[in-house]
Amino acid sequence: MKARVTVTLKTGILDPQGKAIEGALRSLGVAGVSSVRQGKVFDIEIESSDPAKAEALLKQAADRLLANTVIENYKVEVVG
């Protein structure tokens, strides 16, 4: 089973890397970008074929390692 965990910075947490990317887009002339926040995507293969089990496992993975919940939010998706 394929799954995806997306980790993003919480609102209000300063993201210097996102800011730098935002500036670089501006200097490239990519107009109309008002803000960039950088995050992480984890594509994960799961042994189980039970979506509920898969989701529980992904949440555990995100809580215990993939995200630092002090500064980050995460979203888990079972892609199928």
Partner 1 sequence: MKAAVVVFPGINRERDMARTLKLTSGHEPTMVWHADTELPAGTDLVVIPGGFSYGDYLRCGAIAARSPIMDAVRAFAGNGGLTLGVCNGFQILCEAGLLPGVLMRNARLKFICRNVYLRVEQSGSPFTRGYNAGQVIRVPVAHGEGNYIADADTIKRIENEGRVLFRYASPEGNLDAAWNFNGAINAIAGIVNEARNVLGMMPHPENHVEAALGVTDGRGLFAGLAEALERAA
Footprint of partner 1 (CB under 8 A): 13-14, 16-17, 20, 64-66, 68, 70-71
Contact 49, 2 (CB under 8 A): no
Tokens of 1: 């089973």
Q: Is 74 exposed, middle or buried (0-12, 13-18, 19+ CB in 10 A)?
A: buried
- CA–CA separation, 50 vs 32, rounded Å? 43
Question: In this complex, which beta carbon is closest to partner 1, that of residue 28 or of residue 70?
Answer: 70
Instruction: Give least dist CB 35 to partner 1, A.
Output: 17
Question: In this complex, which beta carbon is closest to partner 1, that of residue 36 or of residue 71?
Answer: 71
Question: In this complex, which beta carbon is closest to partner 1, that of residue 5 or of residue 46?
Answer: 5
Tokens of 48: 């189980």
Instruction: Give least dist CB 70 to partner 1, A.
Output: 5
Instruction: Give least dist CB 73 to partner 1, A.
Output: 13
